[in-house]
């Protein structure tokens, strides 16, 4: 039995069109806001105008008391608590609705319910809240000063936690170093920007006695577990459906107070209740991301070979620790990845996580890796300046070499495969370093300054349960296992069910391609289902670039097992021995003839009398799982960018962009390009545009999309992407994750390019987003220095 | 993000619209709705009545006369972009309109709406001041012509009376050899302008005007800059453009902070517009 190589059309490696796009491009997607239920009510949230205040009293409007819900009404709820096992981690509940205090502007204080969304908003205006404003904690450094106000009254200070590690002998590296370069930098707060905001709709299905919650979310099964714990509804009576989700990027991974409150209300009122977040709520009240400060020092020998790196990372994580990804992970991720793709023997890290009066922080595409990458890449460029050498040459001297693979980093990560220097050389060749240098020597007729920047990095993807994966953090919910169900239907086609969600990744296509590859059928005959806890009862969802490797691995395993059962029945129908049959083109072949999958399906579903007497009674449905390798598999990339900076007005134009990347075996190269380009767009937003600033009173200053700037189509360059395809020895088909990598490199690469451009002015910028104002300020500082 | 309850009327004549506006002091006009729509949804505007004038044919005039053109208030940005209005200065309307927001906005937004909304970061107020346009406003009480420069009182506020409707804009046609300098600085294409500098120089009419506007800068005429540009173009001596621009900036901002971001981008924008005229 076997598959004739290359006979399948649309299997692994084929750039077939995304099957989900038919409905998306015609506006026929089904989002929570598209779902209407009879008798449905609408919810709106009253939100705090203060960043920090005590709630003295809340008065509900007369006669409408039953349509306004406050914290005191929420009987029967258990608190949301989310804590890692970090030493001295300070615990604080994550309120469903604020009770005693509000801890950020926009925090939900009450829920109003009405027949229409507009009337629910009207009702909000009739609720009176007496606040006693308190001084807010806004700046993470000042938050730890002795007399700073406390975000949580029972804490001794505003630090959630501090973690430290020391791998290798950094003191020896410091002693041996001939070059020491230090950079301090700031990655400001952002808000992930899915097209669709958050949304939920809860109702009771009287037939099954289930509470059904439709929610725009990445993690259906974890959300079911979390809601069950908080609401006290057994998991068997709670069904979570995540229909089409219009982007998420990490934002939709936590147990939100709004979802809990709306579900509680729907159960209490016995009627469907829906809440659709608006863009103002999204920008002002939602979880945010980044908000980091770093100091990174690189120690190198006389030749520019890095001996050690010391990294201090601070994260302003806002008021609360979200479930299931608690405060502390974000900051700790940065030092853990600060050595980058380089051969470095000693790394020291310190991560400080601070509570402030801002919305809670959440992981966002790349988590802290864009910050870590910014560190190791600006250090390399600083080193190159000291050595008066080309930055890419200094990188080549330090990159882990292919003969060192698999390579154990100082921070104990196992880089599994690849040729990092080859990627670097390819990027340098494509961006044409010498041509850019020549252009810089000539100068621009319009006075702009041209600069070249690189960023090299690895991305740890699809990591598992063990100590090098998630369980090391001691968090509430440890991912790693992923299931898939493959079922041959009575007419010989395939239904595949997975526990991961797809919110832009295109799993309906890639998992069909993986199934097609294993079973040698047309991917058009495969339906991929997900996003419903009654379809797939386990699996943790899509994040950390894990789904293609993990769920895809499970799909391959399930299909392979199904194939054995198909072959056995087929052989029986053909009166051949099992080892004499071959599967191709959706049929089972023997020497004398063939039967189609449809005939095999017919035998199982309609005519069991035709089955072999010893047929596996599990039939044509296979449930299989995939356990990701502990430390995951490592993609890597080199980004190279040329910018032109207008030094009079501080504007940056990206004039060339090259990405060389290796995500192992590609299931669908066109969709890998899509992931890389989408990641690049997010990374450009991080580098140049996106910021959620706050004033000294903790008031958000970017409350609409006029102030929160997202890169538009014209701000994303026509990037040239080159794929290297080094299969991982540790995954199915050698696949590696690619969902986040495009977003990791741009801040570092663009910063290096801008700073290369500003070099004649003695200016350097070390803060994202690199807005025109910040660039002009950097130019001003450069003038003072000179 | 839902508006408060309001009444909605779509009168079929300008007279009916004026009567409705005169009778309802809490009413607001809506044409393209590209500014008012979001303000309604954010509940920053809570009118009791919306009077929809977007389909009034009487506001759709696009007439070329001897020496001037008349453009109805209901003419949309996209019509300027597509060259479907009579020109006053070769290609300038197309070039300027193309940079307003993005096409979906330009398909709906109108010139009258833009002038009446008086957002300092909008494009038309500065352009119309630079072109010395006159705005016609009508009410049941009669009509009057307001110089474009006198229309905005301050950011988001005009000198229009509550019952007045902008019906058209009258713009003089520039002569042979007229030049325009236009520099629009925004974070990205489609964003509101951080700084917008327009300089019109029409030697045939002996007319030169320079205007600066932007996010925190309602439109202002720059007299010294205009004189310096005129002097430069007529060859009457060597004009010190940077000095003239800085003098104007100092006059309108009351400060002379050479290191501030605003100062730098305004200075650069005006200079670049001036350089385009003076080439």
Contact B265 A650 (CB under 8 A): yes
- The DSSP string of B68-110 is EEEEETT-BHHHHHTT-S--SSTTHHHHHHTTSS-HHHHTT-B
Predicted confidence at residue B255, as pLDDT, reads 76
The Cα-based distances of A478 to A249, A474, B128, B161 in angstroms read 19, 8, 62, 65
B4 touches chain A (CB under 8 A): yes
- Taking the CA of residue A776 and the nearest CA in chain B, the distance in Å comes to 7
CA of A117 to nearest chain B CA: how many angstroms apart?
Answer: 7
For the stretch A341-365, pLDDT in tens is 999 999 999 999 999 999 999 989 9
CA distance B245 to chain A (A): 15
Compute the radius of gyration of chain B from its Cα atoms.
Answer: 19
Go through the domains of chain B in sequence order and give each one's CATH number: 7-52 (3.30.43.10), 57-172 (3.30.465.10), 179-278 (3.30.390)
CATH 3.30.365.10 fits domain A193-285: yes
Asked whether the beta carbons of residue B265 and residue A772 sit closer than 8 angstroms, the reply is yes
Quote the CA–CA distance of A205 and A494 in Å, as a whole number. Answer: 29
Residues A196 and A247 sit within 8 Å (Cβ to Cβ): yes
Domain ranges of chain A: 21-29+481-627, 193-285, 289-466+630-785
Considering the domain A21-29+481-627, what is its CATH architecture?
2-Layer Sandwich (3.30)
Residue B35: closest CA among chain A residues belongs to which residue? A706
- B265 touching A (Cβ < 8 Å): yes
- HSE at residue B248, side-chain half, CA atoms within 13 A, is 28
Cβ–Cβ under 8 Å, residues A537 and A523: no
- Strands A481-488 and A621-627 come out as antiparallel
Answer for the pair B190, A715: CB distance below 8 angstroms, yes or no: no
Q: What tokens appear for A726 in the block?
A: 């080094």
Q: Does any CB of chain B come closer than 8 Å to the CB of residue A704? A: yes
- Closest partner residue to A118 (CB to CB) among B3, B42, B194 is B3
Rounded to an integer, what is the distance from CA B58 to the centroid of its chain?
A: 21
What is the crossing angle of helices B241-253 and B261-278, to 10°? 140
Shortest distance between the Cα of A279 and any Cα of chain B, in A, equals: 8
Q: Name the residue among B175, B64, B191, B51 with its Cα closest to residue B116.
A: B51
Whether residue B268 and residue A773 make contact (CB cut-off 8 A), yes or no, is no
pLDDT band at A2 (very low <50, low <70, confident <90, very high): very low
The CA distance from A743 to A284, in Å, is 23
Got the DSSP string for A692-719?
Answer: --B-TT--BS--STTTS----GGGS---
CA distance A397 to A399: 6
Category of A610 on φ-ψ map: left (φ > 0), alpha (ψ -120 to 50) or beta: alpha
B190 touches chain A (CB under 8 A): yes
Interchain pair A780, B265: CB under 8 A: no
pLDDT score at A50:
98
Residue A398, pLDDT > 80, answer yes
**Phi-psi group of A232: left, alpha or beta (phi > 0 → left; psi -120 to 50 → alpha; rest → beta):** left
| Closest C-alpha among A585, A396, A650 to residue A11 | A585
pLDDT in tens, A258-292: 999 999 999 999 999 999 999 999 999 988 999 99
Helices (H), B98-216: 103-106, 111-117, 124-130
Three-class HEC string of B5-19: CCEEECCCCHHHHHH
- The whole-angstrom separation of Cα B171 and Cα B124 is 12
Between chains, do A709 and B188 touch, taking CB under 8 Å as contact? yes
A122 touches chain B (CB under 8 A): yes
User: From B263, which residue of chain A is nearest by alpha-carbon distance?
Assistant: A649
What tokens were used for A178? 């001939």
Q: Is A57 on the interface with B (CB under 8 A)?
A: no
Among partner residues A122, A648, A711, which is closest to B188 by beta-carbon distance?
Answer: A711
Q: Measured between alpha carbons, how far is A227 from A264 in angstroms, rounded to an integer?
A: 10
Which residues 624-683 of chain A have a CB within 8 Å of chain B? 648-651
The string of pLDDT tens digits covering residues A756-774 is 999 999 999 999 999 999 9
Count of positions (residues) in chain B? 279
- Does the CB of B189 have a partner CB in chain A at under 8 Å? yes
Please answer yes or no on whether A776 and B1 come within 8 Å at the CB atom: no
The pLDDT score that the predictor gives to residue A537 is 84
Residue carrying structure tokens 């937003």: A685
Of B2, B185, B187, the CB nearest to A689: B187
The pLDDT of residue A191 is above 60: yes
d(CA A693, CA A711): 17
What local confidence, expressed as pLDDT, does residue B253 receive?
Answer: 84
Asked if the C-beta of B9 comes within 8 angstroms of chain A's C-beta atoms, the answer is no
Whether the predicted pLDDT of B237 surpasses 70: no
Taking each continuous run of H as one helix and of E as one strand, the counts in chain B are 10, 14
Q: Given B3, B189, B261, which is nearest A776 (Cβ)?
A: B261
* Distance of alpha carbon A520 from alpha carbon B160, whole angstroms: 73
Residue A6 has pLDDT above 60, yes or no: no
Residue A3 has pLDDT above 50, yes or no: no
The shortest C-alpha distance from A359 to chain B (Å) reads 20
Q: What is the pLDDT of residue A630?
A: 85
* Residue A590 in tokens: 């023997």
Confidence at A469, pLDDT banded by 50, 70, 90: low
Give the model confidence (pLDDT) of B169-191 as tens digits. 999 999 999 999 999 999 888 88
Token duo for residue A734: 């050698």
Q: How far is CA A61 from the centre of its chain?
A: 41
User: A289-466+630-785 belongs to which CATH class?
Assistant: alpha beta
Q: How is residue A733 annotated by DSSP?
A: G
CB contact under 8 A, A772 and B187: yes
B133, with CB counted inside 10 A (0-12, 13-18, 19+), is buried
Q: Do B188 and A714 touch (CB under 8 A)?
A: yes
Q: How far is B268 from chain A (nearest CA, A)?
A: 6
The encoded tokens of residue A35 equal: 């779902």
- Residues of B with CB below 8 A from A116's CB? 2
Residues in B closer than 8 angstroms to A279, CB to CB, are 1
Inter-chain residue contact B42 with A706, CB threshold 8 Å:
no
User: What's the DSSP call for residue A400?
Assistant: P
pLDDT at residue A7 tops 70: no
Which positions in chain B touch A651 (Cβ < 8 Å)?
A: 185
What is the bridge-based pairing of β-strands A720-724 and A651-662? Answer: parallel
Q: Could you read off the pLDDT of A422-446 as tens digits, one per residue?
A: 999 999 999 999 999 999 999 999 9
Q: Is A3 helix (H, G, I), strand (E, B) or coil?
A: coil
Judged by phi (left if over 0) then psi (alpha if -120 to 50, else beta), residue A64 lies in alpha
Contact assignment for B2 to A117 by CB distance below 8 Å: yes
B44's CB contacts (< 8 A; 6+ apart) are none
Fold match flag (A21-29+481-627 vs A193-285)? yes
- pLDDT tens digits, one per residue of A689-726: 999 999 999 999 999 998 999 999 889 999 999 999 99
Q: Which residues of B touch A278 (CB under 8 A)?
A: 1, 41
pLDDT value at A1 more than 70 = no
Per the DSSP assignment, residues forming a β-bridge with A700 are A694
State how far residue A42 is from chain B, nearest Cα, in angstroms.
12
Residue of A nearest to B102 (CA): A712
Quick one: tokens of A282? 């999204």
**pLDDT tens, position by position, A480-502:** 789 999 999 999 999 999 999 99
Flag if B259 and A780 touch (Cβ within 8 Å): yes
Q: CB burial class (10 A; 0-12, 13-18, 19+) of residue A725?
A: middle
**How many residue contacts between A and B have a Cβ separation below 8 Å?**
58
Q: How many other C-beta atoms can be found within 10 angstroms of the C-beta atom of residue B36? A: 21
- Distance (Å) of CA B163 to CA A134, B119, B142, B156: 45, 20, 10, 17
Query: Of B2, B189, B269, which is closest to A118 when you measure between CB atoms?
Result: B2
Looking at residue B1, its pLDDT comes to 76
Average pLDDT, chain A: 95
Is B192 at the interface with chain A, CB within 8 A?
yes
**Residue located via tokens 């173009």:** B233
For residue A8, the model assigns a pLDDT of: 62
Average pLDDT of the residues in A457-483? 81
Closest CB to B190: pick one of A651, A689, A712: A712
How many CA atoms lie less than 13 Å away from A292 in the CB half-sphere? 38
Q: How far is CA A89 from the centre of its chain?
A: 24
The predicted structure's pLDDT at residue A448: 98
Residue A289's DSSP bridge partners are A190
Q: What is the pLDDT of residues A76-112, one digit of tens each?
A: 999 999 988 888 999 999 999 999 999 999 999 999 9
């Amino acid at each position: 039995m076997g598959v004739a190589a290359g006979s399948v059309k649309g299997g692994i490696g084929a750039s077939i069109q995304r099957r989900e796009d038919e409905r998306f491009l015609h506006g026929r997607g089904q989002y929570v806001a598209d779902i209407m239920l009879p008798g449905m009510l609408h919810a709106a949230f009253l939100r705090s105008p203060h960043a920090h205040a005590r709630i003295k009293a809340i008065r509900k409007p007369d006669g409408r008391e039953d349509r306004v819900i406050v914290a005191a009404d929420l009987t029967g709820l258990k608190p949301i608590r989310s804590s890692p096992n970090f030493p001295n981690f300070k615990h604080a509940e994550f309120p469903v609705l604020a009770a005693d205090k509000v801890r950020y502007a926009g925090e939900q204080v009450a829920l109003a319910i009405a027949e229409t969304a507009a009337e629910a908003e009207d009702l909000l205006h009739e609720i009176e809240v007496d606040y006693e404003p308190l001084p807010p904690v806004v700046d993470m450094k000042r938050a730890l000063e002795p007399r700073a106000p406390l975000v949580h009254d029972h804490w001794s200070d505003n630090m959630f936690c501090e973690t430290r590690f020391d791998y290798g002998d950094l003191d020896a590296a410091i002693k041996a170093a001939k070059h020491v370069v230090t950079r301090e930098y700031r990655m400001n707060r952002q808000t992930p920007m899915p097209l669709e905001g958050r949304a939920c709709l809860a109702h009771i299905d009287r037939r099954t006695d289930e509470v059904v919650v439709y929610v725009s979310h990445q993690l259906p099964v974890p959300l079911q577990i979390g809601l069950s714990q908080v609401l006290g509804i057994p998991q068997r009576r709670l069904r979570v459906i995540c229909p089409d989700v219009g982007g998420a990027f990490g934002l939709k991974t936590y147990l939100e107070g709004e979802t809990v409150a709306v579900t509680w209300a729907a159960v209490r009122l016995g009627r469907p209740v829906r809440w659709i977040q608006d863009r103002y709520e999204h920008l002002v009240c939602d979880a945010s991301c980044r908000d980091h400060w770093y100091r990174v020092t690189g120690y190198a020998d006389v030749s520019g070979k890095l001996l050690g790196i010391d990294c201090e990372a601070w994260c302003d994580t806002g008021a609360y620790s979200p479930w299931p990804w608690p405060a502390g992970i974000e900051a700790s991720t940065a030092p853990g990845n600060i050595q980058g793709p380089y051969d470095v023997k000693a790394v020291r890290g310190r991560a400080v996580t601070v509570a402030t009066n801002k919305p809670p922080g959440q992981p966002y595409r790349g988590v802290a890796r864009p910050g870590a990458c910014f560190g190791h890449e600006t250090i390399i460029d600083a080193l190159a300046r000291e050595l008066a050498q080309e930055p890419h040459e200094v990188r080549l001297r330090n990159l882990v070499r292919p003969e060192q693979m698999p390579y154990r980093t100082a921070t104990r990560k196992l880089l599994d495969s690849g040729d990092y220097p080859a990627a670097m050389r390819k990027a340098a060749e494509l961006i044409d370093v010498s041509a850019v240098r020549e252009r810089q020597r000539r100068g621009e007729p319009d006075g702009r300054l041209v600069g070249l920047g690189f960023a090299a990095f690895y991305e740890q993807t699809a990591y598992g349960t063990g100590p090098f994966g998630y369980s090391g953090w001691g968090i509430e919910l440890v991912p790693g296992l992923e299931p898939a169900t493959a079922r041959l239907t009575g007419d010989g086609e395939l239904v595949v069910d997975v526990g991961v969600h797809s919110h832009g990744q295109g799993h309906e296509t890639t998992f069909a391609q993986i199934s097609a590859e294993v079973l040698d059928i047309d991917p058009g005959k495969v339906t991929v289902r997900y996003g419903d806890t009654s379809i797939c009862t386990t699996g943790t969802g899509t994040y950390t670039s894990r789904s293609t490797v993990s769920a895809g691995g499970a799909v391959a395993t399930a299909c392979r097992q199904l194939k054995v059962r198909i072959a056995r029945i087929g052989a029986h129908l053909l009166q051949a021995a099992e080892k004499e049959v071959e599967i191709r083109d959706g049929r089972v072949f023997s020497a004398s003839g063939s039967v189609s999958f449809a005939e095999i399906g017919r035998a199982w579903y309609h005519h069991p009398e035709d089955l072999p007497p010893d047929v596996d009674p599990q039939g044509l449905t296979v449930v299989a799982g995939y356990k990701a390798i502990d430390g995951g598999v490592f993609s890597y990339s080199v980004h190279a960018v040329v910018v032109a900076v207008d030094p009079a007005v501080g504007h940056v134009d990206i004039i060339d962009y090259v990405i060389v990347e290796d995500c192992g075996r590609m299931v669908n190269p066109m969709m890998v390009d899509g992931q890389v380009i989408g990641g690049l767009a997010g990374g450009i937003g991080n580098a140049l545009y996106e910021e959620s600033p706050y004033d000294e009173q903790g008031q958000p200053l970017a409350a609409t999309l006029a102030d929160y700037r997202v890169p538009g189509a014209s701000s994303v360059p026509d990037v040239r992407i080159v794929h290297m395809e080094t299969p991982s020895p540790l995954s199915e088909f050698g696949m590696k994750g690619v969902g986040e990598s495009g977003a990791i490199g741009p801040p570092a690469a663009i910063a290096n390019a801008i700073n290369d451009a500003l070099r004649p002015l003695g200016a350097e910028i070390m803060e994202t987003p690199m807005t025109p104002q910040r660039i002009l300020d950097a130019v001003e500082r450069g003038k003072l220095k000179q | 993000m839902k508006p408060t309850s309001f009444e909605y009327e779509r009168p079929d004549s300008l007279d009916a619209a004026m009567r409705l506006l005169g009778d309802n002091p809490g009413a607001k006009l809506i044409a393209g709705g590209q500014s008012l729509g979001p303000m309604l949804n954010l509940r920053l505007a809570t009118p009791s009545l919306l009077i929809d004038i977007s389909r009034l044919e009487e506001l759709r005039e696009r007439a070329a006369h001897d020496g001037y053109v008349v453009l109805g208030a209901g003419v949309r940005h996209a019509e300027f972009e597509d060259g479907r209005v009579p020109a006053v200065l070769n290609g300038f309307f197309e070039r300027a309109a193309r940079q307003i927001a993005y096409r979906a906005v330009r398909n709906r937004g109108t010139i009258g709406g833009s002038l009446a909304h008086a957002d300092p970061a909008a494009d038309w107020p500065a352009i119309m001041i630079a072109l010395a346009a006159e705005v016609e406003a009508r009410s049941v009480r009669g009509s009057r012509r307001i110089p474009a420069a006198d229309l905005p009182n301050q950011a988001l506020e005009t000198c229009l009376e509550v019952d007045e409707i902008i019906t058209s804009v009258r713009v003089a046609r520039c002569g042979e050899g007229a030049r325009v300098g236009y520099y629009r600085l925004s974070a990205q294409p489609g964003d509101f302008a951080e700084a917008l500098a327009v300089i019109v120089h029409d030697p045939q009419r002996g007319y030169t005007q320079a205007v600066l506007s932007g996010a925190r800068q309602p439109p202002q005429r720059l007299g010294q800059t205009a004189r310096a540009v005129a002097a430069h173009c007529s060859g009457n001596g060597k004009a010190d453009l940077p000095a003239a621009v800085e003098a104007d900036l100092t006059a309108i901002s009351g400060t002379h902070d050479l290191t501030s971001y605003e100062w730098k981008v305004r200075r650069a924008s005006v200079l670049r517009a001036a350089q385009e005229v003076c080439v």
